[in-house]
Every structure is written in structure tokens, then in C-alpha cells.
Structure 1
Amino acid sequence: MTTSTAWDTYARQRPERRPVNAAGEMTWFNWTQYADHGPGAEVLGVRPGHRVLDLGCGKGGNLAHLATLGARAVGVDVSSAQLSAARERWSDMGLALYRRDALDFLTADTGEDFDAVYSVFGALWFTDPVQLLPAIRVRLRPGGVLAFSQRPPVEGCYGCQASYITRSDDEDPLVVRRWDYELDDWRGLLTGYGFRNVRAEVIPAPPGPRKIGTVLVRAVA
């Protein structure tokens, strides 16, 4: 089983993003797993002309919103199914989309750097941060922002963990690795790799039964 197979399977299970959000907007940015909840693109401080990289861009909804703000919007994902959906829905947004592993993309000799790098339940969760964080740091311009969100860790289960992507009832689930850390550990990792002004928090879930919050981490190069 390849990682791309797992994420292609996941892509087929995910519902499409709504045509508009609760405010009637055709594009929007959402860090959490809940609709119309939490902060938006202001976390990244994107301005017209900024170069922005989405690590694990999925079907491109967040990236498309940044394009409407005037950013050069670049997205990478290992799933061809995710990228096909992004190209179909956002064909007029000028997104630069690449089917690449996040670490491979960052370490390639492209000569391109970025004003912001981000991940929403994406590659920052599913790549060893010991490898990924220094690679991001090299590609961020001075003062550039790194931000990412993911689920909080299960208490006592830290570091590399297994995530399961279900298939049919008669097939075993697909397994991918993820990296879970408490907030203080993320702060220490980022500081250790040269990031500053590190902020890490859990955004509370909206009211409702059995809901968990969302980890949001932001740092400056």
C-alpha cells in the first residue's frame, strides 16, 4: 500500500465543500474540522503578491480563498484524486498544484521561497516534524509564517501514531502514520528549529456532544 493510495481512498470518502458558507461566501478559510467555526486566513497575514504554500492541499478550498486575496497560491498533495477535484472546482483561480510528497517538494532545488507555509489537517500531521520543520524553515522568507492545525493528541499517545482510513466492510483499513504532540512539545520543536513567536493553542469545539477541539500552531521564521 502506498501513501497516495491511502489518500486517494480518503478523497473518495470526503464530501465536497459547500457551494457557499454560512455567510454566503464562495471561498473561505477554515482551520478546524467544523463548518463556520474558528479563525480564518488572518492567521497567515497574507497580502497581495505573497507566495503561499499549502502542504497537503486536498481539494484546494483553503488555497483558492488565498488566491482571491491576491496570493500566489501553491499546493502540494500526494493524492491525484484530491488534486483532480481541486483543478476541476477551482480551474479559474490560477492555483499551482503539484502531486508531490511535502518533504520532496520542499527539498527540491526550485529556488522558490514563501511568505507563508501552512497545513490544515495535512502534511504537518502526517510527516515526521524532525525532517519537515527544518525543510520548511529553509523555504520561508524572513518574517514568514508557518501555521498548521490538527486534532489534539489522545492523552498518553504521543509521537508517531497510526491513523486508519476505512474501506469496505470486507477490506482491512489502510494505515498511515501521523505525529501527535502536546502544545509544549510543539513549541519546543519549533523553537529548536529556529522559529520564533511560537503560539500553540487548542481552539474549543462548537457546542455539541462528544466534540473535541482543534490544535492550532503559528510561528514566524
Structure 2
Amino acid sequence: MTWFNWTQWPDHGPDETILGDIPGARVLDLGCGSGGNLAHLVALGAEAVGVDISPVQVAKARERWPHLDVRQQTAEEFLAAGEDEFTAVCSVFGAAWFTDPAELLPLVHARLAPGGVYAFSHTPPALAGCYGPQASQVQPPEKGAEPLYVKRWDYERGRWTEILQRAGFTDVTAEVLAPPAGKRTGTLLVRGVRAG
């Protein structure tokens, strides 16, 4: 069984149709993790590539779905090294949150086909007034190891809209999806289109 989840809550929120028509599409998943969303896109007929910086996550994806095209690289390395165009680029709690948009967005824009969709999701900013690059603690896979610290880029909906528009995206939308009943944290979902 496969699925596509934009939120941190399984089977909650919109599905893959945010990316457009999936059968036959060329889709890039930046920060694909263990491959669940990528496997779903491939099952629906997409030609999809997943990129993740974590060797642990890439190994999980390859073990569970050996037919997937999963690369262990940073999003920036992958985007800068190739020339193939994609119909859609997505990032679910992935590279779009952990990469400086000034660096990432021009690379994504360059690899999207005209009319292509870029969509990403992550948790909305936790504290009002704390926007831009923030320190984020990540638990390492080894039990007892010291936590790791990475940057994430937290912006409110309106600011993400401005950032994508300045990077050349049109029809930009940004919304906070309400959490399921009994949960406190929603999900910020942002979508833009490369002008044709």
C-alpha cells in the first residue's frame, strides 16, 4: 500500500493532486526520507526521483522499495548538477524547510518545466516574531548520541508568498492546514507555478 501525506498526520489533508496530473509526470521529491510519498507517486505512474541527505533514510527507502530512484545528495547538489526538467517538485518536511530559499528557489525554478508546480510543506513558525533561519535540534539515529543541530527557514504564509513570487513563481498559494481532532499543530502548505 502507498500513500501521499503533506502533513505529519497519516491520511490527513490533501493528496498528490496539488502537484497536477501525476501519470506520466516527471516528479522530484526533495528530502524524500524513507520514500513513502515517492513510492506513491511512482505507483500512480509518475517518473519520480527522490533526493535525501540522510544515508539512513536513503537506505530505508531502498530496502523497502528497491525499484525507486533515490539519491543520497543535498538538494542543491542534485539540482545544480543536472539539466533534466521536472513537471513538479515537492518537499514534505524536507529540503525546502532546511535550505536557504535564496539558494534553493533559483535551482528549483531552473529545473521546473514551464507550467511546472513547486509545492512544499512544514510546520508553521512556532513563535510569533521568530522568522527566517532558526536552529532546530534533530535526534541522531544512534541511541545516546549527541543531538544534531540544523537550520530551518521559518516564515509565515504571506512571507513565503512574497519569497516565491520574487523567485519567479506565479499563482502562489500558502495555507495552514488545520490538524486533525485532538492534535495541536497544523501544517503550512505552499504552492507555486513556474510561468510558461
Fold equivalence (TM over 0.5): yes
Superimposed CA distance per residue, residues 44-84 of structure 1 (whole angstroms, 9 cap, x where no aligned partner)? 11332211000000000000000011111101111111111
Identity of aligned residues (%): 57
- Letter of the 2:109 partner, please give it: R
Question: For the pair shown, which has the larger CA radius of gyration, 1 or 2?
Answer: 1
The whole-number CA distance in structure 1 between the counterparts of 2:192 and 2:144 is 44
Q: Choose which of 19, 26, 32 in structure 2 pairs with 1:57.
A: 32
The whole-number CA distance in structure 2 between the counterparts of 1:61 and 1:199 is 25
The whole-number CA distance in structure 2 between the counterparts of 1:29 and 1:170 is 32
The whole-number CA distance in structure 1 between the counterparts of 2:9 and 2:154 is 20
Q: 3-state SS of the aligned residue for 1:152?
A: coil
Which structure has greater strand proportion? 2
Corresponding pairs, count: 192
Does residue 178 (structure 1) correspond to residue 144 (structure 2)? The answer is: no
TM-score of the aligned structures, taking structure 1 as reference length: 0.83
- Letter of the 2:58 partner, please give it: L
**2:109 match:** 137
Q: Choose which of 95, 102, 112 in structure 1 pairs with 2:75.
A: 102
Question: What is the CA-CA distance between 1:171 and the residue it aligns to?
Answer: 4.9
TM-score of the aligned structures, taking structure 2 as reference length: 0.94
- Letter of the 1:32 partner, please give it: T
Q: Which portions of structure 1, spanning 4 or more consecutive aligned residues, are displaced by more than 6 angstroms?
A: none
Q: Counterparts of 1:193-208 in structure 2 under 5 Å?
A: 193-208=167-182
Q: 3-state SS of the aligned residue for 1:30?
A: coil
The whole-number CA distance in structure 2 between the counterparts of 1:182 and 1:144 is 24
CA contact (8 A) 1:72 1:95 kept: no
**1:48 match:** 23
Question: What is the CA-CA distance between 1:169 and the residue it aligns to?
Answer: 8.5
The whole-number CA distance in structure 2 between the counterparts of 1:195 and 1:122 is 20
- Letter of the 2:60 partner, please give it: A
- Letter of the 1:219 partner, please give it: G
Q: Choose which of 60, 73, 79 in structure 1 pairs with 2:48.
A: 73
**2:6 match:** 31
